[in-house]
Amino acid sequence: MPRFDDSDIGADLTQTRSPRDARPSVGGITASDGTTLPIPADLHHGRRESEVVEVPATRSSISDASQYMHNLSLNPSMREKRGSRNSFGISLPIPRSPRPSRLSIVSGIDSAKAAVSRELLASQVQDMAKEKVAAAKNMAFAFDIDGVLAHGNQAILEAREVLKMLNGDNELGIKIPHILLTNGGGKTEEERCQQLTEILESPISVDQFIQSHTPMQALSEYYETVLVVGGEGFKCRGVAQNYGFKHVYTPKDVLAWDAEASPWRNFSDAERADAHPVDFKRVKFDAILVFADSRDYATDMQLIIDLLLSEDGYFGTRSKNPESGSIPIYFSQGDMVMPTQFKGPPRMTQGAFRIAIEAIYKAQTGTDLERVVYGKPELATYKYADEVLKAWMEQIHNENRLPQNVYMIGDNPASDIIGGNMYGWNTCLVRTGVFQGGPGENDPNSPASFGVFDNVLQAVQAVVRKELGKEFKFKWNEKINPVLHGGDSLSAVE
């Protein structure tokens, strides 16, 4: 059997060094910013005193992942004028109309009595400013959440002021239509709206809220037994059950059946207690649904690849033709990175996880993985958002129609902005999240059509001034008396 010897690889085992001796030196790889990245061979030169042996690599140091990736894996860009991430012809089912929620507007902000008297007063004010009212009902906002309204579970403070204003704290006392359109997920819509209501200090209704996986409820008409991946604990089981999937399993249920399925995982007793193990040799999975970020890449990748290569969706089997695809896989969104509270660059999210799966699949089968990716910037998500917006208009203004001037406010050019641009919405980019451009800069690949702003408050104020006039007041005045202050120039602010 052929084997390497020292002369084959050119290693000089008399030369040793310690990694701690590393210091920049001439040579190395030139990075995109022109700096030189030191590599071990450069750092090693002339140093003999440590215990490290540097053995030359036999394979190229350049990543070979691209040949394994699906050719539409990367985020689309306006430059490439790509119509859709999934432009190879697969359709994405979405619900025909939004499901009426069990929990409508989350209340608890205003007392009922105060709200009634304020509504009365506001309706009198609105009667006297009909043109402005029509314009206010003819505009709408679609807000991204992470990096625009919040960072995880911490509000971006300007967002509180924005929501108060849009909920009626303005000169007309009118609700300006707005929905929340996030690529986040991993918990039920009810739970996330409750959290957002608390941190943003304004009521967020399930009926104005779309998470990455919300439109995927339509898939429950196609599949009964699903492996749901991602999210905290077992929360995504509840999400999928709410959507109507009949048999919902998670990777942890599989581990509770046979922990050896993931060789490096320590499966805790607490996790086992909440798991639903069954004899997975007898379960035929219909589809894999990735609903949120994996909390355990090793286990989730292993089990996903197992099912993708299986015979008809049975764990523990191998298809005779794995390249022809076994069961379908759906990802709830495709963002590569997301903003977090980490004081450094944005962190990897579902898109990065997906690309790794695609690369592994291609390396094992030689073929591209067929998969569907929901979420912004996918057309299906924006179409569903329109349905939600229409239904929300009916709830707040009793008018089942779409406002003409919709503004997407986002922090991620590669999802929020390109998606909004392609859908014909106006777009605003903010600097509180993924986009880090400086003053005067827009994103070169997917520029925001309306502008770039420091934060959501600045963006919303600019939009409202454009649509409702430069003098529009962002405060409601409770002391206004429409009879005394009547006329076209009526303002609730004294």
Binding site for ligand G3P (CB under 6 A): 144-147, 182-184, 335, 338, 349, 412
For the bound state, the minimum distance from the C-beta of residue 412 to ligand G3P, rounded and expressed in Å, comes to 6
The single residue among 94, 144, 287, 325 that binds Mg ion, judged by CB under 5 A, is 144
Strands 16-17 and 52-53: antiparallel
* Min dist. Cβ of residue 414 to ligand G3P (A): 10
Closest separation between CB of residue 209 and ligand G3P, Å?
11
Scan residues 424-483 and list those touching Mg ion (CB under 5 A): 433
Which residue shows structure tokens 């089981």?
A: 237
Near Mg ion by CB under 5 A: residue from 95, 98, 147, 251: 147
Nearest to ligand G3P of 126, 294 (CB atom): 294
- Is 335 a binder of Mg ion (CB under 5 A)? no
At its nearest, how many Å lie between ligand G3P and the CB of residue 222?
A: 25
Give residue for tokens 């993924």: 434
How far is C-alpha 254 from the chain's CA centre? 26
Is the peptide bond between 263 and the residue preceding it cis, with omega within 30 degrees of 0?
no
The item of ligand G3P, Mg ion, none sharing an interface with residue 158, based on CB under 5 to 8 Å by kind, is none
Nearest residue to Mg ion by CB is: 147
- Nearest approach, Cβ of 315 to Mg ion (angstroms)? 35
What does the DSSP assignment read for 287-304?
EEEE-S--S-HHHHHHHH
Per-residue binding string, Mg ion, 166-195, x by CB under 5 A, is ------------------------------
- Residue 182: name its binding partner from Mg ion, ligand G3P, none (Cβ under 5 to 8 Å by kind): ligand G3P
- Rounded Cα–Cα distance for residues 372 and 360 (Å): 17
335 is in the binding site of which of Mg ion, ligand G3P, none (Cβ under 5 to 8 A by kind)?
A: ligand G3P
Provide, rounded to whole angstroms, the least separation between the CB of residue 160 and ligand G3P.
17
Which does residue 403 touch among Mg ion, ligand G3P, none (CB within 5 to 8 A, set by kind)? none
Q: How far is the CB of 117 from ligand G3P (least distance, A)?
A: 36
- Whose Cβ is closer to ligand G3P: residue 117's or residue 153's? 153
Give the DSSP H or E segment for 225. strand 225-229
With 0-12 CB in 10 A as exposed, 13-18 as middle and 19+ as buried, what is 478? exposed
With respect to Mg ion, which residue has the nearer C-beta, 278 or 352? Answer: 352
Q: What sections of 244-367 are H helices per DSSP?
A: 251-257, 269-274, 297-308, 350-365
Which of ligand G3P, Mg ion, none has residue 184 at its interface (CB below 5 to 8 Å by kind)?
ligand G3P
Residues in the chain: 494
What Rg, from alpha-carbon coordinates, does the chain have?
27
Return the number of the residue (69 or 408) whose C-beta is nearest Mg ion: 408
Binding segment toward Mg ion, per CB under 5 A, in 110-118, 141-149, 154-162, 322-330: 141-149
Please say whether the beta carbons of 185 and 242 come within 8 A: no
| Minimum separation from the CB atom of position 30 to ligand G3P (A) | 31
Q: Which does 349 bind (CB under 5 to 8 A by kind): Mg ion, ligand G3P, none?
A: ligand G3P
Q: Which is nearer to Mg ion, 358 or 411 (CB)?
A: 411
The torsion angle over the Cα atoms of residues 304, 308, 310 and 314, rounded to 10 degrees, is 60
> Whose Cβ is closer to ligand G3P: residue 50's or residue 445's?
445
Measuring CA to CA, which residue among 308, 313, 246 is closest to residue 281? 313
CA torsion, ordered 230, 222, 225, 309, to nearest 10 deg: -70
Q: Which residues are CB-neighbours of 442 under 8 A, at least 6 positions away?
A: 429, 448, 451, 452
The footprint of Mg ion on this chain (CB under 5 A) covers a number of residues equal to 6
Residue type, 174: I
Q: Tokens standing for 317? A: 């089997």
8 A C-beta contact, residue 408 and residue 144: yes
| Cβ-based nearer residue to Mg ion, 207 or 411 | 411
H helices of 220-268, where?
Answer: 235-243, 251-257
Q: How far is the CB of 376 from ligand G3P (least distance, A)?
A: 6
Choose from Mg ion, ligand G3P, none: what does 418 bind? Cβ within 5-8 Å by kind.
none
Partner whose footprint covers residue 161, from ligand G3P, Mg ion, none (CB < 5 to 8 Å by kind):
none
CB closer to ligand G3P, 129 vs 166 = 166
Q: Among 411, 455, 468, 480, which residue sits at the site for Mg ion (rule: CB under 5 A)?
A: 411
CB of 332 to Mg ion, least distance (A): 14
The string of DSSP codes covering 422-467 is HHT-EEEEESSSS----TT---SSS--SSEEESSHHHHHHHHHHHH
- Please list the helix, strand and coil fractions of the chain in percent, rounded to the nearest 5, in that order: 35, 10, 50
The binding site for Mg ion (CB under 5 A) comprises: 144, 146-147, 411-412, 433
